[in-house]
């Protein structure tokens, strides 16, 4: 994690790399991905929402927290969601960020649950 978290020597570079990998999971039903992520192998994840509680999601938010940018990234994602309310990548990332804030902010817990439910309807 340290090597990835400090990609290009910065925490923000590491966060961007984690976010990129996490965002790829919205394509898990695509032709290139179903070879491994659909029966008969069914390697996790099989749906984007499976990534909300993943180790990768936890590492991403830990790097954002260490950089002090969790709330800033949440605000950016919330703005992006207003522009594209059904975007699975934004719903996934926002669910993850909100979940990481849920212990300190009850409204973040509710938002995470809401965004995860919306993600399940578009995946």
The confidence score (pLDDT) of residue 97 equals 95
How far apart CA 59 and CA 74 sit, in angstroms, is 16
Stretch (H or E) spanning 89: helix 88-101
Give the contacts of 7 (CB within 8 A, at least 6 positions apart).
Answer: 13, 14, 16, 17
How far apart CA 49 and CA 54 sit, in angstroms, is 10
Q: What is the pLDDT along the chain (123 residues), one digit of tens a residue?
A: 434 444 445 666 778 888 998 988 888 888 888 888 888 888 888 888 999 999 999 999 999 999 899 999 999 999 999 999 999 999 999 999 999 998 888 888 888 898 889 889 888
The confidence score (pLDDT) of residue 3 equals 44
CB atoms within 10 A of CB 76: 15
Q: Could you tell me the sign of the dihedral formed by the alpha carbons of 29, 31, 34, 40, in that order?
A: positive
Are residues 12 and 67 in contact, defined by beta-carbon separation less than 8 angstroms?
Answer: yes
Nearest alpha carbon to residue 81 among 44, 116, 47, 30: 116
How far apart CA 4 and CA 100 sit, in angstroms, is 19
């Amino acid at each position: 994690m340290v090597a990835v978290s400090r990609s290009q020597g910065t925490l923000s570079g590491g966060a961007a790399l984690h976010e990129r990998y996490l965002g790829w999971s919205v394509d898990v039903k695509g032709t290139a991905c179903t070879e491994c992520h659909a029966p008969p192998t069914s390697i996790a994840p099989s749906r984007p929402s499976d990534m909300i509680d993943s180790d990768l999601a936890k590492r991403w938010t830990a790097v954002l927290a260490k950089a002090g940018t969790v709330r800033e990234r949440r605000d950016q994602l919330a703005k992006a969601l207003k522009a594209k309310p059904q975007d699975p990548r934004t719903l996934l990332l926002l669910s993850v960020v909100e979940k990481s804030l849920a212990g300190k902010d009850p409204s973040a817990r509710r938002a995470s649950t809401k965004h995860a439910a919306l993600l399940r309807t578009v995946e």
